[in-house]
Amino acid sequence: MTSAQRKQQPASPQDLWHLLRIGVFTLMLVARGAAAAELATATFAGGCFWCMEPPFDKLEGMAKTTVGYTGGQTHNPTYEQVSAGATGHAESIQVTYDPAKIGYAKLLEVFWRNIDPLTPNAQFCDQGSQYRSAIFFANDEQRQLAEQSKKDLEASGRFQQPIVTEVVQAGKFYPAEEYHQDYYHKNPLRYRYYRYSCGRDQRLEELWGK
């Protein structure tokens, strides 16, 4: 059979099935890539990371929230190391969100309303640089929005004290141990007791009102 004759032969069922499988697999890869490209991340530190998940989890457009450690020098730090204050890391939360449903500016608004921006190297009952408040920007757009939101808060006249929350370049984010993820769901009684005894909501109401 010549080359021209082979080209004229109809494709076999096996050939068609193989091409169909390739086409479906390609479409799946394209869809996954498109979905991943649509999501963005934002990283914040606001004291105990258990308490930073609930306000973000309830927002429309959230894909997931992950608590962890960032801003320090130690690679793959443990909770014990970070809580001891020797790693330079801060307890943090990384928010994965859909920018088509919620903007970074809204995330900043939620962040500010859930922290004490006036106290350096502490949040509520937790003391130490590992509990500092910070915005870790991932790109120039986030940096500009974060810096502007801080300036706007300073200019608002709400506070007489300076805003000490850091706006710094995001570095490596290390997810915390699994038992810390969604802690408020896994251990609701312990979480509520800790939050109340730490005076978090009382201080937030004092700063921001109800």
Quick one: residue 64, left, alpha or beta (phi over 0 = left, psi -120 to 50 = alpha)? Answer: beta
Cβ atoms of 185 and 179 within 8 Å: the answer is no
Residue 167 shares a structural domain with residue 139: yes
Residue 190 shares a structural domain with residue 175: yes
Residue 28 shares a structural domain with residue 46: no
The token pair that represents 38 in the structure block: 């649509």
β-pair partners for 44: 93, 135
Terminal alpha carbon distance of the chain: 84
Cα–Cα distance for residue pair 126/95, rounded to 1 Å: 22
Residue 20 shares a structural domain with residue 76: no
- 62-106: per-residue pLDDT in tens? 999 999 999 999 999 999 999 999 999 999 999 999 999 999 999
* Catalytic residue set: 48
Cα–Cα distance for residue pair 182/176, rounded to 1 Å: 11
Residue 45 shares a structural domain with residue 28: no
Whole-number mean pLDDT of the chain? 90
Cut 0.85: pTM above it? no
- 39-49: per-residue pLDDT in tens? 999 999 999 99
Residue 137 shares a structural domain with residue 51: yes
Cβ atoms of 167 and 143 within 8 Å: the answer is yes
- For residue 125, what is the domain's CATH number? 3.30.1060.10
Q: Domain span at residue 26?
A: 3-33
| Residue 33 scores a pLDDT above 60 | no
Residue 26 shares a structural domain with residue 57: no
Residue 141 shares a structural domain with residue 191: yes
Domains held by the chain: number? 2
**DSSP letter assigned to residue 39:** -
Q: Which residues in 57-86 are b (16+ Cβ under 10 Å) and which e?
A: eeeebbeebbbbbbbbeeeebebebbbeee
Residue 116 shares a structural domain with residue 199: yes
